[in-house]
Structure 1
Amino acid sequence: MEHTKSRPWLAAAILAILAEALFCFRLTIPSKLMFDEVHYVPAARALLALGAPANTEHPLVGKEMIALGMSLFGDDALGWRALSTVAGTATVLGVFAIAMLMFGRVRTAAIAGLLTLLNFTVYVQARIAMLDGYMAAFVVLGIASLLWSMRARSAPAAWTRWVLGGVLFGLAVGAKWAAVPFLVYAGAGFLAVRAIEARRHGRSVWWALNAGGHRHWPGLAAVPALMVLGAVAVAVYFLTFAPAFFYHMRPMTLSHLIAFQGEMYGQQTQVLPKHPYQSQWWSWPLMIRPIWYLYEMADGATRGVLMLGNPAVLWGGLVAVAACLWAAWRDGSAKLAAAAGLWAGAYLPWIVIPKSLGFFYYYYLPSIFLPVAIAAALARYCKGRFEHWDEAFVIIAAGLFVIFFPILSAAPLHDPQDFRRWMWFPTWP
Structure 2
Amino acid sequence: MTSFSYPPIHPLERLNVTDGLLLNAELWQLAHYYHRQRQNIHYQALNQGGIVCGLGLSIIEPSGEIKAEYRDRRWLRIQPGIAIDSRGNPIIVSESLDFHLASVAEKNPFWVYLVLRYVDPEKLQWKTSPTIVRETFRLDEKTTLPTDQDVELCRILLQPGNVELSHPVDVFNPGFNQLDLRSRVQVQAKAKGFVRVAYAAQEGTREPQREEQWGELLSALPALYPALAGDPQVTALNLEQVKIEQLLGYSILSIQHQRFVKLTNGTSQLLQQYVAHGGLIVVDLPAWETVIDELKVIEGELKEAIADIGDNESLREAKNELMQELQATQQEITNQINQLKTEAQHLVETFGVHTPNSGQLDRHHPLRRLPFLFSQYPTVSNKPIELLNWGGIVFIIGNLIQAWGIDEELDQTRESIRTNHEMGINLLHFAWWRQQMMQAR
User: TM-score, normalized by length of structure 1?
Assistant: 0.26
Structure (1 or 2) with the greater helix fraction: 1
Q: Which has the higher contact order (CA 8 A, sep 6+)?
A: 1
Structure (1 or 2) with the greater strand fraction: 2
